Every structure is written in C-alpha cells, then in structure tokens.
Amino acid sequence: MEGGGRPSAVQAALLAASTALTALLYSVYRQKARVARGLQGARRVRLDGELRAVLLEAPGRCVPYAVIEGLVQSVKETLSSQFVENCKGVIQRLTLQEHKMVWNRTTHLWNDYEKIIHQRTNTTPFDLVPQEDGTGVAVRVMKPLDAAELSLETVYEKFHPSVQSFTDVIGHYISGERPKGIQETEQMLKVGTALTGVGELVLDNATIKLQPPKQGMPYYLSGVDFDSLLQKQESNVRFWKILTIVFGFATCAVLFFILRKQYRHHRERQHLRQMQDEFRQAQERLMREMNAEGGETLKNACVICLSNIKSCVFLECGHVCSCKECYRALPEPKRCPICRQAISRVVPLYNS
C-alpha cells in the first residue's frame, strides 16, 4: 500500500484488468446464454404436407425461429467435384493453403505457418426435402453461406511438397522462411446430406423459404440433429459461465486483498493515535506529579508505564524515556515515543 492507505499502481492496474476481463467474459456468457435460450424456444416443425397449412395459420405467414430437418436436393443443376467422379453437391469450396516453417528469433525455433493463398466457393440453389418421397413439399434454403455450423465434407485433399535446390535451402535459412508445400483441398455439401436448419421460416407466394432470422438470433445449417446442436450450445454456455465465475472470484480476491490492506492500515493509524494520546496524558500526569511532589523519583520513571525506571537509550535520536519491558511492547516498526524517529538500536542504561 502507498502512503495514506491508497492501493499501489500495480494493485490498481490488477484490479482494473481483472474487473474488465470478468465483465468481458460475462458479456460473452450472456450472449451465449441468449443463443441457447433462443434455440430452446425455437419451434420444431415437420417437413411434411402440413407445413404449408401451419405457415398459413401463422402471423404474417412466418415462424420467426423454427427448426426443420431434411435432405439436401438441388433446384436445377448440381455442382460436380473437380477431382472425384460422380460426386455431386450444392456448395463447393476450393482452397489452396501454403505451408512453411518460419524462424522465431525470440524462441530460436522453427514454427509451422499456414496461410490461405486462394479460396473459391461455388453455390447453387437447393432445397430441403423430407426423407419420405411423394410428399411434394420442399423448403428453399436462402443465403447458406451466412449460416453457422455449416460443415462441408472434404472430398479431396492433396499436399504438393516444394522442390528445393541446395541454393534455395541456403537462401531459406538466411531469410528465416522454409516453404514446405501447397495443400489443395476440395469441400462439398453433397446432394442427399441430412441437414438441420434453424432460422426464419416464411411462406413467400408458393415457395417456403428458410432464411436468416431478423431478431438477431444465429442462423444454423448443421449436419447434426437438433438435440446435438442444442447440447453443444448448452455446453458452450457452461464453459463461459465457469470462466466468468473463476475470474469473478479472482476479482473478488484482489478487491478483498486491497480492502484488507486498507483496513490494517486504518487500524495501525488508530493504534498510533491511541498511543500518542496515552503518551501525552502520561506526560501531563508526570508533569503534574513532578510539580506536586518535587519529582525526583518520577523524574527517572518510564514515560510509558510510569512505574519502572528508565533503562534504555534509543539510537539514533538519543532519548532516554522507556524501560526495557515497555520497549519490547512497542509496535513494529519501533519508534521513539518522544520524537517518533525510527529506533535503529538500543543501548542499556545503567543508573549509578
């Protein structure tokens, strides 16, 4: 603690950082909890012949947050894989990723480094259809690339290692970068994939559409079932809740430490004032007794207990005012009762 009982700069910075981090974690936790509550309250609808009737009865022909499950089916043409025969899909993502080793001058180690140098995503309109054929109902999926949890299946992956000459190797060691190669990847959302959609379900003329919700809730297109998706979000909420509680306790501990220091400083100041008052009263009483009795006996009495003979010389101030027992009872750090100067050492006084 600094003078006056104020917390030090380090303690204040630690408390501010801990409080800010706890507030940030709590904000993330609240956002995750809101998403989980929204998923719990989402309306589950079946992809069957009754779906159109359900939307006609809904206000504005819209279910603001609905859960629907079905199979992926292209509307017109499909996308064909560039590397795998007879592989058809509705979303295709081609990625070229560079892999290299970079020298870290701080740790003096070679670290792996990856960088996407090119990525292209192709899409074609697609519907979600029920697993049972013949129902004649389909849900058009809008803006699929805006959806979270959209997991594309990797259908092709190949690593092309770099070919390096001896001169290249020397140059790479000098520059601190060693290329390893290029990884080529193709990912697709295949036709016939089971998909769980969570978003706004709306009847637009004769087309049923699944689109991003307008209430700020997340839009999902996931390859897992809804129960697994909900369980994942609830587990995420628990994780952020535990982090918030841990850092909240840490903030409370730092605050308790600072307040405890301030309380102890306050108690020490009170004790010091009390000792000063007692010393002043003892001096006044001693002066009265010396004036009343002539005071030869009280002249050599300890100014603290007024019963024992002075037997200590305090250095460096040189005052002789206390007996040995009262010196030992002085609080740490020991200071002279007369001038309040710190006592570096004590020399015993022998009265002849």
Task: Give pLDDT tens digits along the chain (352 positions).
Answer: 445 556 778 888 888 999 999 999 999 999 999 989 989 999 999 888 888 888 889 898 999 999 999 999 999 889 999 999 999 999 999 999 999 988 888 888 889 989 999 999 999 999 999 987 666 789 999 999 999 888 899 999 999 998 878 887 788 788 888 889 999 999 999 999 999 999 999 998 888 999 999 877 899 999 899 999 999 999 999 999 999 999 999 999 989 988 888 888 889 889 888 888 887 887 777 677 666 654 555 667 788 887 788 888 888 888 888 888 888 888 888 888 888 888 888 888 766 5
Q: Are residues 337 and 319 in the same domain?
A: yes
Q: Does residue 261 share a domain with residue 147?
A: no
Q: Are residues 148 and 83 in the same domain?
A: yes
Q: Is residue 339 part of a domain?
A: yes
Task: Compute the Cα dihedral for 110, 116, 118, 124 and give only its sign.
Answer: positive
Tell whether 55 and 83 lie within a shared domain.
Answer: yes
pLDDT at residue 296, as a whole number: 53
Q: Is residue 115 part of a domain?
A: yes
In a domain, 128, yes or no: yes
Task: Indicate whether 11 belongs to any domain.
Answer: no
Amino acid at 45: V
Residues 240 and 334 in one domain: no
How confident is the model over 202-218, as pLDDT tens digits?
998 888 999 999 877 89
Domain enclosing residue 259, as ranges: 234-300
Residue 5 lies in a domain: no
- The pTM assigned to this predicted structure is 0.66
286 with 239, same domain: the answer is yes
Number of domains in the chain: 3
Instruction: Note whether 277 and 330 are same-domain residues.
Output: no
For residues 104 and 165, membership in a common domain is answered with yes
On whether residue 100 sits in a domain, the answer given is: yes
Using CA atoms in the order 17, 22, 28, 34, what is the torsion angle rounded to 10 degrees? -150
Q: Are residues 143 and 255 in the same domain?
A: no
Residues 220, 238 share a domain: no
Q: CA 210 to CA 129: how far, in whole Å? A: 12
68 occurs within a structural domain:
yes
Give CA 216 to chain center in angstroms: 23
**Separation of CA 342 from chain center:** 47
